Chain A
Amino acid sequence: MRNDPIKYFFIWPALLVVLGVSIFPLIYSLTTSFMSFRLVPPTPSRFVGIDNYTSLLQNPRFWNAIGTTSLIAFLSVALQYVIGFTMALALNARVPGEKLFRVGFLLPMLIAPVAVALIARQMFNPTMGPLNHLMTRLGFPNLPYLTETPWALGAIIAVEVWQWTPFVVLMLLAGLQTLPHDVYEAADIENATPWQQFWGITFPMMLPVSVAVVFVRIIESYKIIDTVFVMTGGGPGVSTETLTLFAYQEGFKKFNLGYTSALSFLFLIVITVIGVVYLAILKPYLEKYR
Chain B
Amino acid sequence: MSARGLKGGGRLLAFAGCLIWFVLTMFPLYWIVITSFKTPVSVVDGPTYLPFIDFEPTLNAWRDLFSGNRGQFSSTFLASSLIGVTAAVIATAIGAMAAYALVRFPFRVRLGSAILFFVVALGGYLAGTLWFGLPRAPAMLDAFAAALLLSVLANRLPLPGPVLGNDDIVFWFVSQRMFPPIVAAFALFLMYTEFGRMGFKMVDTYLGLTLAYVAFSLPIVVWLMRDFFAALPIEVEEAAMVDNVPSWRIFTDIVVPMTMPGLIATFMITLAFVWNEFLFALFLTTSKWQTLPILVAGQNSQRGDEWWAISAAALIAIIPMMVMAALLSRLMRSGLLLGAIK
Q: Which chain A residues have a beta carbon within 8 Å of chain B's beta carbons?
A: 1-4, 6-7, 9-11, 13-15, 17-32, 83, 86-87, 89-97, 99-108, 110-115, 117-123, 125, 127-130, 132-133, 162, 165-166, 170-171, 174-179, 181, 184, 187, 194-195, 197-198, 201-202, 209, 219, 222-223, 225-226, 229-230, 243-244, 247-248, 251-252, 257, 260-261, 264-265, 267-268, 271-272, 275
Q: Which 5 A-B pairs have the closest CB atoms?
A: A25-B187, A21-B215, A14-B98, A10-B101, A7-B105
Instruction: Give the contact stretch, choosing among B67-75, B256-264, B325-333.
Output: B325-333
Let me know if A93 and B325 touch, CB within 8 A.
no
Let me know if A112 and B321 touch, CB within 8 A.
yes
B102 to chain A, nearest CB (A): 7
Chain A positions within 8 Å of B104 at CB level: 1-2, 7
Which of B31, B49, B326, B328 makes the CB contact (< 8 A) with A122? B31
Which of B44, B46, B278, B313 makes the CB contact (< 8 A) with A113? B278
Query: Known interface pairs A87-B17, A110-B325, A114-B317. Does A261 touch B187 (Cβ–Cβ under 8 Å)?
Result: yes
Let me know if A10 and B251 touch, CB within 8 A.
yes
Bound: A94/B177 CA distance, A: 34
A sample of 27 inter-chain contacts (CB < 8 A) reads A6-B247, A7-B105, A14-B95, A19-B144, A21-B211, A26-B183, A28-B125, A29-B186, A32-B187, A89-B3, A93-B4, A101-B18, A112-B292, A112-B321, A122-B31, A127-B46, A128-B307, A181-B4, A198-B2, A219-B178, A223-B181, A225-B182, A226-B279, A229-B278, A229-B297, A264-B180, A268-B180
Chain A positions within 8 Å of B14 at CB level: 89-90, 93, 95
A29 to chain B, nearest CB (A): 4
B154 within 8 A of A: no
Total of A-B residue pairs, C-beta within 8 Å: 336
A244 to chain B, nearest CB (A): 5
A262 to chain B, nearest CB (A): 11
Bound: A111/B321 CA distance, A: 7
Bound: A22/B2 CA distance, A: 44
Bound: A96/B32 CA distance, A: 28
Let me know if A26 and B17 touch, CB within 8 A.
no
Let me know if B182 and A223 touch, CB within 8 A.
yes
Chain B positions within 8 Å of A267 at CB level: 180, 182-183
Chain A positions within 8 Å of B88 at CB level: none
The interface size bin for chain B is: 35 or more
Chain A positions within 8 Å of B173 at CB level: 14, 18
B31 to chain A, nearest CB (A): 6
Bound: A101/B140 CA distance, A: 51
Chain B positions within 8 Å of A115 at CB level: 293, 296, 314-315, 317-318
Besides A2-B105, A101-B18, A110-B324, 20 other A-B contacts (C-beta < 8 A): A1-B105, A2-B241, A4-B105, A11-B98, A22-B215, A28-B125, A93-B5, A94-B5, A95-B14, A104-B22, A110-B322, A176-B3, A181-B4, A184-B2, A202-B1, A229-B297, A230-B300, A248-B182, A261-B186, A264-B182
A172 to chain B, nearest CB (A): 10
Let me know if A260 and B17 touch, CB within 8 A.
no
B233-244 vs A, Cβ < 8 Å mask (1 yes, 0 no)? 000000001000
Chain B positions within 8 Å of A175 at CB level: 342
Chain A positions within 8 Å of B118 at CB level: 23, 27
B122: nearest chain-A partner, CB-CB? A27
Bound: A185/B218 CA distance, A: 42
B144: nearest chain-A partner, CB-CB? A24
B171 within 8 A of A: no
B219: nearest chain-A partner, CB-CB? A18
Bound: A92/B18 CA distance, A: 12
Bound: A92/B183 CA distance, A: 39
B310 within 8 A of A: yes
Let me know if A119 and B329 touch, CB within 8 A.
no
Chain B positions within 8 Å of A101 at CB level: 18, 21-22
Let me know if B183 and A6 touch, CB within 8 A.
no
